[in-house]
Amino acid sequence: MTETKFDMLKELWEEKNLTALKRFLYEENPVDIAEMLSEFEEAEPKSLPTLYRLLSKEAAAEVFVEFDGDTAERLIGALSDKELAETLSEMFYDDAADLIEEMPANVVKRILKNTSPADRKEINKLLKFPDGSAGSIMTTEFVSLQKEMTVGQALDHIRKVALDKETVYTCYVTDETRYLEGFVTALVLLTSPTEKTVGELMESNIISAATSDDREEVARTLTKYDFLALPVVDSENRLVGIVTVDDAIDVIQEETEEDFSVMAAITPTEVPYLKTPVRTIFKSRIPWLLLLMFTATFTGMIISSFEDALSAKVVLSVFIPMLMGTGGNCGSQSSITVIRSLSLGEIKLSDTLKILLKEFRVAFACSVCLAVFEFIKMMTLDRVLLSADIDVLVALTVSLTLIATVFFAKTVGAALPLLASKLKLDPAVMASPFITTLVDTASLFIYFSVAKVVLGI
Amino acid sequence: MTETKFDMLKELWEEKNLTALKRFLYEENPVDIAEMLSEFEEAEPKSLPTLYRLLSKEAAAEVFVEFDGDTAERLIGALSDKELAETLSEMFYDDAADLIEEMPANVVKRILKNTSPADRKEINKLLKFPDGSAGSIMTTEFVSLQKEMTVGQALDHIRKVALDKETVYTCYVTDETRYLEGFVTALVLLTSPTEKTVGELMESNIISAATSDDREEVARTLTKYDFLALPVVDSENRLVGIVTVDDAIDVIQEETEEDFSVMAAITPTEVPYLKTPVRTIFKSRIPWLLLLMFTATFTGMIISSFEDALSAKVVLSVFIPMLMGTGGNCGSQSSITVIRSLSLGEIKLSDTLKILLKEFRVAFACSVCLAVFEFIKMMTLDRVLLSADIDVLVALTVSLTLIATVFFAKTVGAALPLLASKLKLDPAVMASPFITTLVDTASLFIYFSVAKVVLGI
């Protein structure tokens, strides 16, 4: 929050001017209020429940869902059963379900105790869907209309139920068995004559998701078509929920950050960087560093097994970093491209052959280009800058190794994420660090093998 | 598209059954139609304009904006001036502006010639905003209301103008000088008594963007507050446009893919992987590979300048890949974390000290842990697997180097993206490949320097 707002809050808090505090908070957006309250709690540990109680019932629930897990847990601990029940009754079912999934068992018990039986039933419906599925991110609070309704009746119905629904801008048309027949937007209803029926106006080419669909795929579909909401149906095409655009955006952002983390060899955390304790950052990074350091034993083994060759021609060691670096970069280029394309749904497993062929052709062009460049550089610049021991045979060794390494790196870089996807693993785990380790090992092996042949050592 | 739909299209095309083709296309979503038409064009090069002409005027414009630049250019070339004018008149101004920015000069000339003077004026307004600004992604087609209007009047106004507006779900309240006073959602209008005035109902705590704001920041603000649209104002707080959620999502996705590309040392392309020619992929990758290979000269220089030390103790070469790899991984962890946090707006430049301090503490924990692990591993496993030449002093050399390298990698990894941001460069250019090269060079230098002291070589 801005300095001014923080100071204002602090001043009013110190004056104990609750009326002014209430008015101050009333003016703000719930997202900002949540940010302010969390930040102010750090300065004034006891302020959270007091300030929270100043919010209107509706605003309170909106603010509540913006808190991170720890803050929410602390607040629940400070609220009375009655206050908790009030907040919960104002929350959307999907938000309540998300909250329950984050809280420890004793808090969950208190939450469920303070939820009305009807609400509990709806929340439980959502909780039964597996993590990461469309069912787990949908809400059951949608507007459903019947074909026979006139536009006037539909608008009256929307007016009546609007406040309990997550969106009224897309309304779904179902029959008495909840079978999804079509949808109609609020825009169409607003701009059509009141006597027309919903059945006449509805769009019946429906794009929907199944409850078991992967949540990322659902989010991508919604954004691909620029929808504000996507209906989720069961195996009999009965409407069971909707995913709204704001939730889809959250899913995409979470999945993106996960991909970035995995590529950086970090266990993903959901807390913003500055709020993450050093201990947590350490724990999210060290296992990967240890694992990758351990796997480097293989590169060590290769070098030590070729120690004689290396002693015979020490100049070879000069090019080890370059070969490993270039191999690693080639591998990252292919693997990150394939990982992102898979993630965006641009490529499918059935495209494997096409992809490998493409990478093969790119590898051909890149490897020849790099090898020629390196050969010329070695015979000119490197002989001056690095070592007078560089001769045509050494340059040839390095260039041939480059060609083989680039081919290996690009092919493996593209193939491993596809293989991971085939095995139903996250393709991102095959990202740069792992591929780099593999490519490092391979490039060293190729290097010394080529050297033995070309240089006869 | 699915096999069945492709086959159906093919069959109807071969039968020349235009009526059936028209009906077939009528049933589909514009996004899908665009995909089908592009894909079918590959099989039947002349099909595009014919199929396009079967679409209704409104559908045609919606399909048109989904085409990639090349397809759009080919289609424009095949359309008559009258057909082009019709499509353009149905397009939203921001889409038309985007199209113009993508087309070559001669096509732009034809587009502008076939646009009505009024439309041209609006499009030109959008074109004058610099690339990457809020102005460049906004549209001027919003609903504006006046405070004095009753709900009934406001709804009547919306009904009248709705079809030409990009969204009617958030309406903006302005005075006669276009000064932005507040906003009101369609939901509020629908659920309020018709005699209330807009002024009574509007929300006056407005979150808005300036035309010159960075487009990514604007998109992040919109999604942070779960808005469907965000108003864009000029320096006098006069409303000049809105950014809608679908455009915000596009911006976030483009920026994300750019970050991924840059981290993979690839020049970003906007075309899906499978549609990108090998030549284009090659061109987007080879400059970075060449550049990074060239910079590897530094690592080579360091090794060659310590060649005597290396000859005296060949076993040192065994740990070069591990040291470089661990340094690179540590650097990526920090740099990717900082790059993403900057990108998400979680950290600001003013947090630099906090961040460096945090990375320093993480580096301390990681380096000690890695060094101890490596020391033990070297004195046990490595002596068996790698070389009998490993003694306490060699293990000490490697462990001390690890500590220094990890500190260097983590600090530089965190600092460089912040520096780039300070210099108004994209922090992502400081991503792994560059930091790896720098860390490689540093780690080798540290390694041999430590070796000289510890081993006395």
Residue B307 is part of a domain; what is its CATH number? 1.10.357.20
Residue A47, C-beta contacts closer than 8 angstroms, at least 6 positions apart: A13, A37, A40, A41
Q: Which domain holds residue B239?
A: 144-251
CA distance B159 to chain A (A): 5
CB distance A266–B337 less than 8 Å? yes
| Predicted model pTM | 0.85
Whether residue B442 is found in the same domain as residue B309: yes
Residue of B nearest to A288 (CA): B329
pLDDT of B128 strictly over 60 = yes
Residues B282-327 have pLDDT tens digits of 999 999 899 889 988 899 999 988 888 888 888 899 999 999 989 9
Mean pLDDT of B247-268: 88
| B170-174 vs B144-145, strand pairing mode | parallel
Residues A315 and A448 in one domain: yes
User: Which residues make beta-bridge pairs with B173?
Assistant: B145, B182
Mutation target vs B (from A183, A262, A303; most B CBs, 10 A cutoff): A303
Nearest-CB residue to A273 (from B260, B324, B346)? B346
Residue carrying the six token digits 């010639």: B113
- Flag whether B290 is in a domain: no
Domains held by chain A: number: 4
A395-421 exposure pattern, b = at least 16 Cβ within 10 A, e = fewer: bbbbbbbbbbbbbbbbbbbbbbbbebb
Is the CB of A362 less than 8 angstroms away from the CB of B318? Answer: no
- Classify residue A50: in a domain, yes or no: yes
How far A96 CA sits from the closest chain B CA (Å)? 18
Same domain flag for A420 and A314? yes
Q: Which of B155, B300, B329 sits opposite A433 (nearest CB)?
A: B329
Chain-chain contact of B317 with A320 (C-beta, under 8 angstroms): yes
What pLDDT sits at residue A432? Answer: 64
| Alpha-carbon separation of residue B10 from A351, B16, B87 (angstroms) | 22, 10, 25
For chain B, what's the residue count? 457
Cβ–Cβ gap A322/B296 under 8 Å: yes
State which residue of chain A sits closest to B170, comparing Cα positions. A169
CATH number at residue B85: 1.25.60.10
**B326 plus B432 within the same structural domain:** yes
Residues A35, A38, A40, A46, CA torsion sign: positive
**The CATH number of the domain where B184 resides is what?**
3.10.580.10
B442 burial (CB, 10 Å; 0-12 / 13-18 / 19+) is buried
* Cβ-nearest to B314 among A31, A205, A307: A307
Q: Mutate which of B285, B379, B439 to test chain A, going by most A C-beta atoms within 10 A?
A: B285
Nearest CA in chain A to B351: A274
**Is residue B120 assigned to a domain?**
yes
Nearest chain B residue (CA) to A154: B190
Q: Find the closest chain A residue to B254 by CA distance.
A: A344
Kindly provide the ipTM of the predicted complex, given to two decimals. Answer: 0.85
With vertex at residue A291, the alpha carbon angle to CA A287 and CA A296, rounded to the nearest 5 degrees, is 150
* Judgement on whether residues B351 and B407 belong to the same structural domain of the protein: yes
In a domain, A388, yes or no: yes
- A380 secondary structure, DSSP code: I
> Is residue B27 scored above 90 in pLDDT?
no
Which residues contact residue A385 at a Cβ distance below 8 angstroms, ignoring those fewer than 6 apart? B297, B300, B301
Residues B31-90 have pLDDT tens digits of: 999 999 998 998 888 899 999 999 998 899 999 999 988 899 999 999 999 999 999 999
Chain B contact probe: residue of A3, A28, A322, A347 with most B CBs at under 10 A = A322
Whole-angstrom Cα distance, residue A417 to residue A336? Answer: 9
Q: Cβ separation of A385 and B297 shorter than 8 Å?
A: yes
Express as a percent the part of chain B with pLDDT over 90.
67
B325-380: per-residue pLDDT in tens?
899 889 989 998 998 898 888 888 899 999 999 999 999 999 999 999 999 999 99
Q: Which of A1, A33, A189, A293 to mutate to test the interface with B (most CBs of B within 10 A)?
A: A293
Average of pLDDT values for B439-444? 92
Q: What was the pLDDT predicted at A327? A: 92
The type of residue at A360 is F
Amino acid found at A56: S
Task: Judge if A194 and A280 occupy the same domain.
Answer: no
Distance from B410 to chain A by nearest Cα, in Å? 11
Q: Is residue B262 part of a domain?
A: no
Q: How far apart are CA B8 and CA A201, in angstroms?
A: 27
Out of A163, A361, A436, the one facing B278 most closely (by C-beta) is: A361
Of B99, B128, B157, the residue that ends a domain is B128
The residue type of B62 is E
Are residues A287 and A319 part of one domain?
A: no
Query: Residue B155's closest CA among B198, B118, B95, B210?
Result: B198
Report whether A142 contacts A242 (CB < 8 A).
yes
Same domain, B366 and B246: no
Are A156 and A222 within one domain? yes
Counting one residue from chain A and one from chain B, the pairs whose CB atoms sit within 8 A come to 329
The whole-angstrom distance between A269's CA and the closest CA on chain B is 11
Q: How far is B356 from chain A (nearest CA, A)?
A: 11
Same domain, B109 and B157: no
In the prediction, which pLDDT does B1 show?
A: 56
Helix B320-343 to helix B245-263 angle (10° resolution) is 160
Closest CA of chain A from B9, distance in Å: 17
Which of residues A252, A282, A304 is at a domain's end?
A252
Residue B198, domain member (yes or no): yes
A424 φ/ψ sector (left φ>0, alpha ψ -120 to 50, else beta): left
Residue type (1 letter), B53:
R
Whether the CB-CB separation of B309 and B433 falls below 8 Å is answered with no
Handedness of CA A452, B307, A294, A333 (dihedral sign): negative
- For residue A319, which residues of chain B lie inside 8 Å, CB to CB? 300
Identity of the residue in A281, A311, A366 whose CB atom sits nearest the CB atom of B286 = A366
Among A285, A321, A444, select the one facing B299 at the smallest CB separation.
A321
Question: In the beta sheet, which residues pair with residue B182?
Answer: B173
Q: Which residues of A touch B360 (CB under 8 A)?
A: none
Which pair of structure tokens corresponds to residue B84?
């082009």
Q: What does the pLDDT read at residue A265?
A: 81
Which chain B residue has its CA at the smallest distance from A155's CA? Answer: B190
Q: To the nearest whole angstrom, how far is the Cα of A113 from the nearest Cα of chain B?
A: 30
| 457 residues of chain A, pLDDT tens digit each | 566 888 888 999 999 898 999 998 988 899 999 999 998 998 888 899 999 999 998 899 999 999 988 899 999 999 999 999 999 999 999 999 999 998 999 999 999 999 999 999 999 989 999 988 999 999 999 999 999 999 999 999 999 999 889 899 999 999 999 999 999 999 999 999 999 999 999 999 899 999 999 999 999 999 999 999 999 999 999 999 999 999 999 999 998 988 888 888 888 877 888 888 899 999 999 998 998 899 888 999 999 888 888 888 888 989 999 999 899 889 989 998 998 898 888 888 899 999 999 999 999 999 999 999 999 999 999 998 888 888 999 999 999 999 999 999 999 999 999 998 898 887 877 666 778 888 999 999 999 999 999 998 8
Q: Do B318 and A328 touch (CB under 8 A)?
A: no
Residue that finishes a domain, picked among B194, B220, B251: B251
Contact B408, B442 (CB under 8 A): yes
* Helical segments of B274-351, H only: 278-295, 297-305, 307-312, 320-343
- Domain membership of residue A414 (yes or no) is yes
User: Do A204 and A117 share a domain, yes or no?
Assistant: no
Q: Do B444 and A321 make contact, defined as CB atoms within 8 angstroms?
A: yes
Mean pLDDT of the region B3-21? 87
Over residues B15-41, mean pLDDT: 90
Same domain, A285 and A211: no
Convert the pLDDT of each residue in B388-399 to its tens digit: 888 999 999 999
Sign of CA dihedral B69, B70, B76, B79: negative
Query: Does residue B260 lie in a domain region?
Result: no
